[in-house]
Each structure stands twice: as structure tokens, then as C-alpha cells.
């Protein structure tokens, strides 16, 4: 017997509105009305402008800096729960604080776990997210987590470029698993083996790279660097320069989340990178950096929402 799906509505925080509208376009529904009231001291309040009673409510908001975005999500979850929503699903395209996923030195916080606790405590019943910095963050939640992979979208973009001498590169040893998965996806799309190289880098401190070397031969290759985050972009730019110096024909980068903090845009424009491609998990104005190309993850998220509503597996939508 087919179980009838519960009705659902999609709402967005201030940093999730553009992506949420694209998701709604794919779903063929209207973006829900929500209001954020701001006080002069910086405090804000959230209120739904339409009924959510008995609905499955999908709240689209990345928890990117500043912390106001996380607080918006928490207040939206709380408001939906108090308004008698049937289920509250937090759609977090970019899960912030994810780089703080372990205690790698004494007396530090594990921010990724703390944020997971806060989201659960606020009342979320489920989480949908894209390309976590570390897969094990899913285990920080005691509620279901649907972890989507941006490689599904980004690999299609790279394949469409039809590069004959394609090579994938990981910007560090820790990202080799991600780059290998990207090679596997490209192999399925092109029916060709795609070689991979790895960059070795040493970080003396956060957002700083003192040394980098390429482990592999990139001569004559069109190199695609695969990473999850473009923050200061120092690593990407340095890797691109080294690869071009070692004879690469071209270097571009594809990443899941474009944070682009500080002087990132200036670095990209002055770098050897042909282009930087990332998903629309975080709002970004491409006029700030003409080398940036954005591809949308909206269709994959929309299909995941439909699969949840219709009690279907999402595995076929999320083949890494």
C-alpha cells in the first residue's frame, strides 16, 4: 500500500533565499513567506507568515559566517516546531564550523559537534547537507542526515569541457579520497581513466601554507584541482602556480563551497587558475571575481526533498 506523502513547504533564511527559490522552481512550489524583524541592538526575531501546522517544513539556510546565519536557522527551527509543524528538516547546503571536527591539540572546542547539538536541541527532525568537510560529522547527529555530494554536479560541468588531457589533483593528502571519488565519477561519465596527482602542503597555522610540492607528473595536462572549500584561496593559487611551473597546460579548480573571505577574489584574479568553479551553497556575486563560475545544486536538493516526501531512497540521486 502506498503511503500518502504529507504536504510540505519550503522556507529560507536570508543567506538561503536565492538557492531556496531555485529549489522551489524545480519542485514547482512557492517559496514560503517568513519574516525577520531586526532590533537596533542587532537582535532579531523570526516569524512564519503562513500556517505550517501539520506540514513537513524544509528550512534552507547555510551556517556560513557570520554566526547570525546559524542563529537564524535555530530560530526558524524553533518557530516551526512551536507552530505545530509535523516535521522540521534543516537544509544546510554549507555546514559551518565543520573544520573544527576533532580535538587536534589541547584545550580546543569541537565546533562541528557543538553546532550539531544546537540544531538537534532546537528541534530539527532531519538534516540535508552538501559535502561536509569530514564524513564523520554525520555521526555527530542523532537524527537522520542526508549527505549530498557536489561531485555529482561538478563532474558533469568538467565533463562538458571535453578536455583530452584531463588530470585531477588533490590540494592536500587529506583530500585524496575526495579527488579519487571525483576521478571515479568522471570515469563513469567519459568511460576513460582519469589520472590523479596529490599536493603535499605544510601548514604552520590556520589559513597559511609554508611549503607545497606536487606528487606526480602534470606536464601537458589540463589539471582540475578538487576541494571542498575555497576560503582564502591561498592553497589553490599556490598549487596552480606550481603546476603551471611544472608544465601543466591549464589549471582550474572545482570546489563545493565558495566562502571567498578576505582578499580571495584578488588572489584568484592574479593567479594562474583558468577558472574557479563552485556550487551555490553560499551566496556570491560573480561580478566580484570574473574567473568564478557558479553551478547550482538546487536540482539535487529538490529531488532529495521529493524522495523524502515519497519515502524513496536517495542513493540513486547521490552516487559519489
φ, ψ for residue 10 (rounded to 5)?
Answer: -115, 130
Any catalytic annotation for residue 221? no
Residues 9, 15, 87, 201: which is the catalytic one?
201
Contact 226/168 with Cβ under 8 angstroms?
A: yes
The C-alpha cell 576560503 sits at 231
Q: Which whole-number Å values give the CA distances from 82 to 70, 94, 121, 224, in the listed order?
A: 19, 25, 13, 47
Q: Edge-to-edge strand order for the sheet containing 250-258?
A: 211-215, 196-202, 166-170, 222-230, 250-258, 276-279, 292-295
Q: Which helix (H) or strand (E) holds 272?
A: none
- Gap between the Cα atoms of 281 and 91, Å rounded: 10
Q: Which long-range contacts (CB under 8 A, 24 or more apart) does 62-65 make?
A: 62/15, 62/16, 62/92, 62/93, 62/94, 62/95, 62/96, 62/281, 62/282, 63/92, 63/94, 63/95, 63/96, 63/97, 63/115, 64/15, 64/94, 64/96, 64/257, 64/259, 64/282, 65/96, 65/259, 65/261
Q: Which residues are catalytic?
A: 201
Amino acid at each position: 500500500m502506498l503511503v500518502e506523502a504529507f504536504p510540505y513547504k519550503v522556507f529560507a533564511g536570508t543567506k538561503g533565499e536565492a538557492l531556496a527559490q531555485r529549489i522551489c522552481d524545480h519542485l514547482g512550489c512557492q517559496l514560503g513567506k517568513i519574516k525577520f524583524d531586526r532590533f537596533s541592538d542587532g537582535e532579531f526575531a523570526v516569524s512564519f507568515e503562513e500556517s505550517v501546522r501539520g506540514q513537513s517544513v524544509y528550512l534552507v539556510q547555510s551556517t556560513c559566517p557570520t554566526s547570525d546565519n546559524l542563529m537564524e536557522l535555530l530560530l526558524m527551527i524553533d518557530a516551526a516546531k512551536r507552530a505545530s509543524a509535523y516535521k522540521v528538516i534543516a537544509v544546510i547546503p554549507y555546514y559551518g564550523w565543520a573544520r573544527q571536527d576533532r580535538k587536534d591539540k589541547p584545550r580546543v572546542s569541537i565546533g562541528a559537534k557543538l553546532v550539531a547539538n544546537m540544531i538537534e536541541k532546537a528541534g530539527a527532525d532531519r538534516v540535508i547537507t552538501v559535502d561536509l568537510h569530514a564524513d564523520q560529522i554525520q555521526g555527530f547527529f542523532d537524527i537522520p542526515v542526508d549527505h549530498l555530494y557536489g561531485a555529482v554536479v561538478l563532474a558533469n560541468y568538467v565533463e562538458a569541457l571535453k578536455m583530452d588531457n584531463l588530470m585531477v589533483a588533490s590540494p592536500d593528502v587529506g583530500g585524496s579520497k575526495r579527488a579519487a571519488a571525483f576521478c571515479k565519477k568522471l570515469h563513469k561519465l567519459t568511460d576513460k581513466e582519469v589520472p590523479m596527482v596529490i599536493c603535499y602542503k605544510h601548514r604552520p597555522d590556520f589559513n597559511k601554507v609554508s611549503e607545497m610540492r606536487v606528487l606526480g607528473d602534470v606536464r601537458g595536462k589540463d589539471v582540475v584541482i578538487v576541494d571542498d572549500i575555497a576560503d582564502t584561496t591561498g592553497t589553490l593559487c599556490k598549487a596552480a602556480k606550481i603546476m603551471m611551473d611544472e608544465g601543466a597546460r591549464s589549471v582550474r579548480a572545482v570546489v563545493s563551497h565558495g566562502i571567498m573571505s578576505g582578499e580571495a577574489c584578488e588572489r584568484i584574479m592574479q593567479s594562474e587558475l583558468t577558472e574557479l568553479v563552485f556550487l551555490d551553497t553560499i551566496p556570491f556575486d560573480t561580478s566580484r571575481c570574473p574567473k568564478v563560475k557558479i553551478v547550482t545544486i538546487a536540482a539535487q536538493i529538490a529531488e532529495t526533498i521529493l524522495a523524502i516526501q515519497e519515502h524513496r531512497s536517495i542513493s540513486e540521486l547521490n552516487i559519489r
